Amino acid sequence: MTDTNAATAASVPLAPGGLPLLGHALPLLRDPLAFISSLSGYRGLVRVRLGPTSAVVVCDPDLTRHVFLNDRVYDKGGPIYERIREVIGDGLSTCAYPLHRRQRRLCQPSFHPARLTGYSAVFARASRLKAASWHDGDVLDITQEMMTLTTRATMETMFSGALPAETMSRALSDTAVVVSAFFRRMMTPAALRGVPTPGKRRYDHARHRLSATIEGIIAERRADPTDHADLLSTLVGAVDEESQDGQRQLSDGELADEALTFFLGGMETTAITLAWALHLLATHPDVQQRLRAETDGVLAGGDLDAAHLPSLGLATRVVTEALRLYPPAWMMTRRLRQDAELGGVRLASGSTLVLSPYLLHRRGDLFPDPDRFDPDRWLDAQPDRATYIPFGAGPRKCIGDQFALNEAVLALTAVVARWKLSPVGEEPFRPKVETSLSSRGLLLRVADRRQDDAGGTGGPQRHAAVPPQGTACPVDHRAARGAASPRSDAAPE
């Protein structure tokens, strides 16, 4: 029901900086974080234009939560999800409301606590192996390193084993191309989206090849009825007892969509979160030193394993704070399935809403000194479900949130247990803002703690050649602005 006395969307203030024909597309492409942050002063609703169409940005935490909780009205939709659906179809993170409840029921067993324990053992082992692969003095493209780690861990949890090196390298490359294209394709007018530019051809080739990789794995699994105790086996065997139409299991097409959804989500967004967390530690040596002490006390000279998770309090807070400062899904969209009233404003069916975790997470009235990295803000406070939303909220909250948190905390601990991290260069490192807050091109130097703790230099350090992509430096939390990159590498909600 809508209040006939409520204002209409036309009465919602229009954000400044729009241009004829283009609307706010240029400021969103040039400096999206600066633009979205500038809207926080509205506190309620504000309109933005993308070409001839407009969207309403929700700037209030209570209204944001209302939208998240009422997915029957405010459905997954809008430019972001239209682009993501090009790749993963109607997977759990993108499907419309009528499909969601059934798919959620079928996918939920894959994330049962008993399954998470097994996944965490994989995460711990993969993290130890990755940390052991570096050398004293290496300069690392830390995002690429974390992508390799999370790809291996995701492959093993999903498919009970890593892919051959060539296949995994191809999947990693294809994912980078595909996901980074989402934001620019979202901002590109529909009439120009099909123009066969070199970037469009790369995007089409990568998404078709990635789909073929996943479909090939699924076909092999369908032919093998063995329960491999992995995520894919759980999906294949899941039965919907509440089915009203006889579709009690996932079809091959649905299985492919879900596998792609979990593959992209488990690999890319977790890697970005880890890269930001490691960068924050490198630029805050006092916190890194405290985390080192926690890690040494918990591990007591032994190997990291899943049983250590409850004792890794500071590591958990570091990840929580990294997700506040750099939520991978910095912007989400919803589309109204029917007329509704939000914040005293009547919105018509088909209207697009924009929700931004980044906007809420950086509001000073919600988080004191919001641009400061402070893991201890979570010492005596649990994240508020209305103001802290890196995984969304309500029925569409990310099903793999605990999966991702466990992986990030274990990986962070494995790295700090072995390595001292420091930044490269002195200029602030800025996020590459695409569909996610990408950390692509972030470089960190690692020093072997075993030599550092022994009180020696360990002899001459072997400095790896600096990877050619990007420059790395401490982040400027006062600005924390990003510019959309014309190149490729990023992720979805």
Amino acid (one-letter) located at 406: N
Cβ partners under 8 Å of residue 460, min gap 6: none
Strand 53-58's sheet: what is its strand order?
45-50, 53-58, 352-355, 332-336, 74-76
What residues does 45 pair with on adjacent strands? Answer: 58
Q: Is the pLDDT of residue 171 over 90?
A: no
Closest CA to 7 of 341, 334, 336: 341
Question: Using one digit for the tens of pLDDT, what is the confidence trace for 333-362?
Answer: 999 999 999 999 999 999 999 999 999 999
Q: Which has the higher per-residue pLDDT, 224 or 234?
A: 234
Closest CA to 461 of 115, 134, 224: 134
Specify whether the CB–CB gap between 309 and 406 falls below 8 A.
Answer: yes
Q: Taking all residues of the chain, what is their mean pLDDT, rounded to a whole number?
A: 85
Out of 1.10.10.60, 1.10.10.10, 2.40.40.20, 1.10.630.10, which CATH number does the structure's domain 7-239+250-453 have? Answer: 1.10.630.10
pLDDT, one tens digit per residue, over 85-119 is 888 889 999 999 999 999 999 999 999 898 899 99
- Closest to 492 (Cα-Cα) out of 49, 211, 88: 88
Give the pLDDT band (50/70/90) at residue 454: low
Q: How confident is the model at residue 217 (pLDDT cuts 50, 70, 90)?
A: confident
Residue 480 has pLDDT above 50, yes or no: no
Write out pLDDT tens, residues 395-447.
999 999 999 999 999 999 999 999 999 999 888 898 988 778 889 899 999 99
- Torsions phi, psi of 209, nearest 5? -70, -40
Q: Which of 44-53, 193-202, 223-232, 382-391 has the highest mean pLDDT?
A: 382-391
Q: Does residue 209 surpass a pLDDT of 50?
A: yes
Percent share of the chain, pLDDT over 90: 52
> Which positions ≥6 away from 398 have C-beta within 8 Å?
93, 265, 391, 392, 404, 493
